[in-house]
Structure 1
């Protein structure tokens, strides 16, 4: 499964990252909070949470709104 990370600018395209790369980043303790792009489906985000729970990790998910428009949001995944 590929996950799209959040864009740095609204005109940029989201960066794709594999699930394996996310796990490697968690194992190296480089990062444990991921901001994912709104182009990811809600279904994919729930599958990601389920994947981490099967691995014995706690994962939290929320939408982060950064503007007044309904389309101005991203997903935040916090894995412990």
Structure 2
């Protein structure tokens, strides 16, 4: 199954990966969750993840968040609700 890169917690750190299965387990436990993904993810992979959860009946809100002036200062926020 698909693996995505979670947003890094430090600028020079390497992003950690998270699987769609792990996301599903967290949603089963909590019912909803906000995930932050690194800019190194391809937009296509993120859209596939959004479609995956929408097909399972979840509401998914996806947006790009800019946190600085540099064009590389952004990450993706995905809010998934049951």
Q: Which runs of 5 or more structure 1 residues have no equivalent in the other structure?
A: none
| Greater CA drift, 43-52 or 25-34 | 25-34
Q: How many residues align?
A: 80
SS in 2 for 1:35: strand
TM-score (norm 2): 0.94
- Normalising by structure 1, report the TM-score: 0.96
Gaps of 5+ in 2: none
Deviation sequence 1:23-78 (CA, Å, 0-9, x none): 00111108600000000000011001100011000101000000000000000000
What do you get for the CA RMSD once the two structures are aligned?
Answer: 1.1
User: Which runs of at least 4 in structure 1 moved beyond 3 Å after TM superposition?
Assistant: none
Change (3 A) 1:17 1:10: same
